[in-house]
Amino acid sequence: MELGTLLQTFPSIGPARAKALKKLGLETVGDLLLYYPRAYEDRTKIYSIAAAPQEEAVCVSALVAEAPRTSRIRKGLTVTKCRVVDGSGSAQVTFFNQDYVRYALTAGESYIFYGRMEVMGRHRQLTNPVFEREDRARFTGRIMPVYPLTAGVSNNLLAGLALPSVESCAHLVSDQLPSEVRLGRKLCTAEYACCNVHFPADQEALAVARRRLVFEELFTLSCGMAFLRSRRTEARGRVFPDRPVEDFLALLPFSPTGAQRRAMEEVRADMASGRPMNRLVQGDVGSGKTAVAACAAWLAKAAGAQSAMMAPTEILAHQHYETLSALLAPTGIRVGLLTGSMKAAEKRKVQAALAAGEIDLAVGTHALLSQGVEYADLGLVITDEQHRFGVGQRSALSSKAKTPPHVLVMSATPIPRTLALLIYGDLEVTIIDELPPGRTPVETYLVGEDKRERMYNFVRKNVSQGRQVYIICPAVEEGEGSELKAVTAYAKELAEKVFPDLRVAFVHGKLKAREKEAVMAAFSGGDIDVLVSTTVVEVGVDVPNAALMVIENADRFGLSQLHQLRGRVGRGKWQSYCVLVSGNRSPETRERLKYFTQTTDGFKIAEKDLELRGPGDFFGQRQHGLPTLRAADLAGDTRVLKEAQQAARDLLEQDPTLSQPEHRPLMERVRQLFAEDGDIFN
Ligand code: ADP
Ligand code: MG
């Protein structure tokens, strides 16, 4: 057996299972060794029947006293039972719909059972336990790995493959940590880590293995990010001749905040520097990032280059298109729109104009990346709300330029420092930490179902004062828990029963883009009083007259998402409100939502969210554009992250291209890590 041995050569793996394994990314023994358990079951301690505790699953060694009998309870339900004994007593073992047990358990033999012992008076019972013959035990009497699974792949199957693989191949896993790095931090070898992450000798060995793997992963990632950054600073960029930002500011209908002005100056300096700009502008919702983007496009145009601005949703692309067209009209900059839902003929027209250089600023969705979209002379790439795009998409847009373009990334997601270091490790960062003047913070309240009537009255009051209202619900369709307010049904109820005299409309992600646009346009035009919506209004949408947001089932949302949502109000000159409705009584939930009512600082909220939910949920599945982490947990492993980043910096200083022979395995792994998520090394 070698690392390259195909899993389908194992006797237990037929074509169907091989296919299921492939879904998990598992084709070879090597893949399997890098597939880490998500949890462990401690099956080391063996209890007697009488002494087995009830609260948790435990191992019990017992003799099968009688041959198991199967009986049919009703159609589709069989039960197989037998009695087992040891010196301390006896227990009934019961299996549902597992007829094979009749042949798997032999009377008179000893087995180790793993499961929860239920005690009812003098009667003890084990239901659906896992079991193995005592003299051939592989998965009991040890710490058992629990792997992430998929349909057709059971944990026993994976563990059964992992065990021989680890036994024969752990020593072949290449140690990519340079030995000075490994020894300097007293980390175990790759072989030890591999053995003990899959089948830990004991809890301590597991901790030792995990410490190394977490470090290794964060170290590799840090090397990759540092590598990207250094490669970029070496590249030559187009020089956009310096133009005074003041000339642009004169075009704005407002005077900029100090932070906006600083951001624009930095952008100007970047683009004049001779290196490609790679700047992240991070600013809370409503801080005025669009004007910074407009300034960048204006500078590009002055240098005779085209710009492209990519937004994550059609709604947002439209809104940017409108805002920027209006803002830039006096400058003669020609703005074009390109989105996936446009008619083919329209698209062709815009594409032709782009290729001919008749559009200076293309605003759109990822349609801007499509094959066949060509630019006459793309010099500036802007992405809005970056956490929704991956590193790969950012570079895909850049690759449409003939020379490396300037890149401006805008994000409204305040990102905790630890994550920002990783995700934006290859970017310079500007923080817009100032809101335009005259904004009063949104007042936020948490209410239960008992206050629903009062909440409706509050909606009515706001509308009577000329304001508009958002009502946000988490789900589009009934079904995902029926107590959820499904947006369509709920909108109907509101329109017909609660607010028959108001103009109520709804919008959700399953509507056609065109329908969505129409509703959003009507809302921003003031023709709708109450907009019932899912989270499609989450990013970027700007309707200053909307002064109240009600969030139904607020406990369903993470803090960062609530913050994004709340940013839709408080954009005009009126006092704005956010009302969280939740009937959830759990103390943690109450505390989380209470916290939200008490702070408006996006960074604090983000830190709290990360702490409570971890990075996966923080961004939603794979939205951060980072390679998937197998071992590390960014929320919990911050200290290790800092160490790993320092180690990566030290190493790259000494060998910037990682070309020394002892660094080759590391370079290889860095490539692999990033290759899984887009070819940013090409
Ligand atoms: P962001 O994209 O950062 O969430 P926007 O660029 O959409 O914020 O700006 C939010 C609102 O504030 C817009 O209506 C915009 O016209 C307005 N705005 C931006 N900058 C200023 C400023 N300096 N003074 C007054 N209003 C501003
Ligand atoms: Mg914005």
* Ligand 1 atom nearest residue 260's Cα: 23
- Rg of the Cα trace of the chain? 30
Model confidence band, residue 398 (pLDDT cutoffs 50, 70, 90): confident
d(CA 354, CA 360): 8
Pairing of strands 46-47, 58-64: parallel
* Ligand number, closest to the Cα atom of 439: 1
Q: Which of 381, 408, 432 marks a domain boundary?
A: 432
* Ligand 1 atom nearest residue 384's Cα: 2
Structure tokens at 155: 């944990």
Q: Which residues contact 645 (CB under 8 A, 6 or more apart)?
A: 218, 222, 421
* Ligand number, closest to the Cα atom of 431: 1
Lowest mean pLDDT, pick from 71-85, 230-244, 305-319, 488-502:
230-244
How many angstroms separate the first and last alpha carbons of the chain? 33
User: What is the CA(537)–ligand 2 centre distance, in A?
Assistant: 12
Looking at the domain assignment, is residue 635 inside a domain? no
pTM, two decimals, is 0.62
Contact call for residues 276 and 235 (beta carbons, < 8 A): yes
- Residue whose Cα lies nearest atom 26 of ligand 1: it is 436
User: What is the CA(321)–ligand 2 centre distance, in A?
Assistant: 12
User: What is the CA(539)–ligand 1 centre distance, in A?
Assistant: 14
The helix-helix angle for 203-234 and 664-675 (nearest 10°) equals 80
Q: Which of 141, 169, 184 marks a domain boundary?
A: 141
Lowest mean pLDDT, pick from 250-259, 313-322, 328-337, 411-420:
411-420
Q: Which residues line ligand 1 (CB under 6 A)?
A: 254, 256-257, 260, 283, 285-291, 412, 436, 540, 542, 544, 571
The pLDDT value recorded for residue 618 is: 44
d(CA 307, CA 407): 10
- pLDDT cut 70: percent of the chain above it: 88
d(CA 245, CA 250): 9
Q: Which of 141, 167, 195 marks a domain boundary?
A: 141
Q: Domain check: are 401 and 479 in the same one?
A: no
Q: Domain check: are 356 and 500 in the same one?
A: no
d(CA 419, CA 641): 10
Q: Which residues pair with 70 in a beta bridge?
A: 80
Torsion (CA) 526, 521, 390, 632 in degrees, nearest 10: 40
Number of Cβ within 10 Å of residue 433's Cβ equals: 14
**pLDDT tens for each residue of 658-675:** 889 888 888 888 877 766
Mutate to test the pocket of ligand 1, among 542, 571, 576 (most ligand atoms within 8 A of CB): 542
Taking ligand 2, which is a single-atom ion, which protein residues have CB atoms under 5 Å away?
A: 540
Lowest mean pLDDT, pick from 64-78, 336-350, 544-558, 634-648:
634-648
Q: Which residues pair with 579 in a beta bridge?
A: 445, 550
Looking at the domain assignment, is residue 255 inside a domain? yes
679 has a pLDDT exceeding 50: no
Contact call for residues 94 and 123 (beta carbons, < 8 A): no
The pLDDT value recorded for residue 622 is: 37
Q: Domain check: are 448 and 594 in the same one?
A: yes
468 has a pLDDT exceeding 90: yes
3-class DSSP assignment, residue 13: coil
Q: Which residues pair with 131 in a beta bridge?
A: 113
Q: Domain check: are 124 and 267 in the same one?
A: no
**pLDDT tens for each residue of 537-556:** 655 567 889 999 999 999 98
**pLDDT tens for each residue of 478-535:** 444 444 456 778 888 899 999 999 999 988 877 787 888 888 889 989 999 999 988 7
The pLDDT value recorded for residue 644 is: 87
* Ligand number, closest to the Cα atom of 437: 1
- Residue whose Cα lies nearest atom 5 of ligand 1: it is 288
Q: Domain check: are 353 and 494 in the same one?
A: no
**pLDDT tens for each residue of 473-492:** 876 554 444 444 567 788 88
User: What is the CA(540)–ligand 1 centre distance, in A?
Assistant: 10
Residue appearing with tokens 């298109």: 321
- Residue whose Cα lies nearest atom 24 of ligand 1: it is 436
**pLDDT tens for each residue of 155-167:** 888 999 999 999 9
**pLDDT tens for each residue of 281-307:** 988 877 899 999 999 999 999 999 999
Looking at the domain assignment, is residue 34 inside a domain? no
Q: Domain check: are 469 and 606 in the same one?
A: yes
Q: Domain check: are 286 and 265 in the same one?
A: yes
**pLDDT tens for each residue of 342-357:** 999 999 999 999 999 9
Q: Domain check: are 425 and 470 in the same one?
A: no
Q: Which residues contact 371 (CB under 8 A, 6 or more apart)?
A: none
Q: Domain check: are 420 and 307 in the same one?
A: yes
Residue range of the domain that includes 425:
245-432
Domain total in the chain: 3
User: What is the CA(29)–ligand 2 centre distance, in A?
Assistant: 47
Structure tokens at 544: 């200053």
d(CA 351, CA 659): 43
Give the CB-side neighbour count of residue 302, counting CA atoms within 13 A: 20
- What's the 3-state SS for 83-150? EEEECCEEEEEEEECCCCHHHHCCCCCEEEEEECEEEECCEEEEECCEEEEHHHCCCCCCEEEECCCE
Contact call for residues 316 and 384 (beta carbons, < 8 A): yes
CATH number of the domain that residue 609 is part of: 3.40.50.300
Out of 262-266, 572-576, 616-620, the most confident range is 262-266
**pLDDT tens for each residue of 114-137:** 999 998 888 999 999 989 898 888
